[in-house]
Structure 1
């Protein structure tokens, strides 16, 4: 069984890791929320020391000029795609941030190249706060799953799914899979966000994060069969309790917004997530940079995945609001 050190990357919330041709590619929300960066390493434990490259920077004005959040790197067909959310206005100018979802494309074999092209916004029928797009190709169909505000439903965001005609265009009407309804999903804010797909033995496990981004933040899960109608909400079963949450004994608080990858030898599924190791946060938790990327093992049971608890840190971490240099030096 593989063993890893935590954190795997400092000050990168909303971590996304994809393994491709033996290498791990990492991205996540940059603390200044002004750019998209990638790093690559042959081992997960080496990601922190890996050089980081900026592959896209926010615009000076317009819909992609504020709060660049939660980029995800995907290989679809013969090209790379990055899905991310961006806003046009500063906080305080609206009830919710003005985030919408956008896509970048790179047709090179190496996603670290400079040939990224803006493919534009992912348009949805309702023009509202939307973010955290993830994608998965299942039985030849590409699906997009994301978080969005429905003006008719109380709360910040719900989870939606639709099929796609290409990596930046929906081909079916969005279907709501989940909304904040349990007490643990509604602490500080009513939120369902950060979906991530894990597949195993014909099943689809969709994790997501709920509640405010501080200590209450936790991970929930929906389950469906791969051969079912994934665009039918009745095909999905939602857990009534969080499957991954704060562990005070290990000093891990607010774990969430995860992705999934596999171990170096391919034998184990891994959960990559962010969490803090302290609870005293001055001001808005979103602007405290110390949500570090961490890794945990997924253990399989007769009932599906067991994510255990967030493990304690065994590497140095900063305890201030200062943003570290890109190489994490201190």
Structure 2
């Protein structure tokens, strides 16, 4: 074969190999999802885009991308700046598309308090002007139970049987300077910013793995599967390397305000992995793959021991599988900087 033809063939083969490699690369991402942020992460896939928010401490910012792999490079846009009594120490934002009195709007729930941290933290909600998750948002007010207006954080939404519920972490009464134990509470809602029942305590830290550093149950969020509700929560002090995820389980048809309707799984479902540089994995969210066939968890973790509850916590995501017993399998935290297949239906980076 003439040398010119051999050279041309070699170039074509190399181009095919590189093209295949690029296509493969475009269909993967690696953890962390964000390389320099991501504590208390929350992701929603909506109408072709991933929207992500997380704790900044000062305001609420969203990132938007067509692929999970694109969130790290997406601009962090400020969508809301809390003011007044809830101006500061802004934690754990979440946003949910809900039916309000004036139709569908996005409702942005977050924790905040006065400038001095952190004994007066409470839950707040803002409403979007339209069905665009990017806002703008207008404050609706504090979300609270008048009978128990105590320290409360990490508001999230549960929907079941056409009813709306608020789930959150709180304390039996206000203490100074920090409030422990932290329990998980549920209350029914009249609308996305008003509670219609007193709170009901559905989980309190009682197991050894929930009490490392402090007796804490926080960060509740719901995973829906058939007729089952799985309420994930974070146990132990967030400043410890042994912060981890546990689960409560209930049936969607049960009386969810009755503590007896909820069963706590005895063992945690996502724990530290020293080998994979995941210390203190917790405060998670759930999201669906773009085609709706997969469940994914997003959570934060530190890459090194002893980094506590600060800015070193980075967001990570991985697919959930389901066991024959109907329970979700979270697996071991994925290692950092290793290629992982994107969620099903994710187009990848261009």
TM, length-normalised to structure 1: 0.87
Which residue in 1 is equivalent to 2:144?
Answer: 123
Give 1:126 shift: 1.2
Give 1:265 shift: 2.5
2:216 to 179, 185, 191: 191
1:248 to 264, 268, 274: 274
Measure the CA separation in 2 of the matches of 1:143 and 1:175: 11
Measure the CA separation in 1 of the matches of 2:191 and 2:217: 25
Unaligned 5+ segments in structure 2 are: 1-26, 339-350
Cα gap change, 1:152 to 1:103, in 2 (>3 Å) = closer
Which residue in 1 is equivalent to 2:226?
Answer: 201
Q: Write out per-residue CA displacement over residues 206-232 of structure 1, whole angstroms, 9 at most, x where no aligned residue.
A: 000011113010001000111111111
Which residue in 2 is equivalent to 1:313?
Answer: 336
Q: Write out per-residue CA displacement over residues 124-148 of structure 1, whole angstroms, 9 at most, x where no aligned residue.
A: 1212110000002211100110001
Which residue in 2 is equivalent to 1:164?
Answer: 189
Matched, 1:102 2:124: yes
1:262 to 280, 288, 294: 288
Give 1:23 shift: 1.4
Matched, 1:35 2:59: yes
Measure the CA separation in 2 of the matches of 1:216 and 1:40: 31
Measure the CA separation in 2 of the matches of 1:128 and 1:136: 21
Measure the CA separation in 1 of the matches of 2:263 and 2:28: 32
Matched, 1:25 2:48: no
Measure the CA separation in 1 of the matches of 2:306 and 2:212: 17
Q: 3-state DSSP class of the match of 1:209? A: strand
Q: 3-state DSSP class of the match of 1:184? A: helix
Measure the CA separation in 2 of the matches of 1:22 and 1:206: 27
Q: 3-state DSSP class of the match of 1:63? A: helix
Which residue in 2 is equivalent to 1:324?
Answer: none
Matched length: 302
Which structure has the highest helix share of the two?
Answer: 2
Give 1:89 shift: 4.5
Q: 3-state DSSP class of the match of 2:85? A: coil
Check conservation: 1:35, 1:68, Cα contact below 8 A.
yes
Measure the CA separation in 2 of the matches of 1:265 and 1:19: 10
Give 1:109 shift: 2.2
Unaligned 5+ segments in structure 1 are: 316-330
Within 5 Å, give how 1:58-137 maps onto structure 2: 58-59=82-83, 62-77=84-99, 78-91=104-117, 97-114=119-136, 116-124=137-145, 125-137=147-159
Which residue in 2 is equivalent to 1:46?
Answer: 70
TM, length-normalised to structure 2: 0.83
Check conservation: 1:4, 1:295, Cα contact below 8 A.
no
Give 1:99 shift: 0.3
Which residue in 1 is equivalent to 2:323?
Answer: 301
Cα gap change, 1:171 to 1:215, in 2 (>3 Å) = same
Which one has a bigger Cα radius of gyration? 2
Matched, 1:138 2:164: no
Measure the CA separation in 2 of the matches of 1:73 and 1:113: 11
Check conservation: 2:273, 2:279, Cα contact below 8 A.
yes
Give structure 1 regions of 4+ aligned residues with deviation exceeding 2 angstroms: 151-156
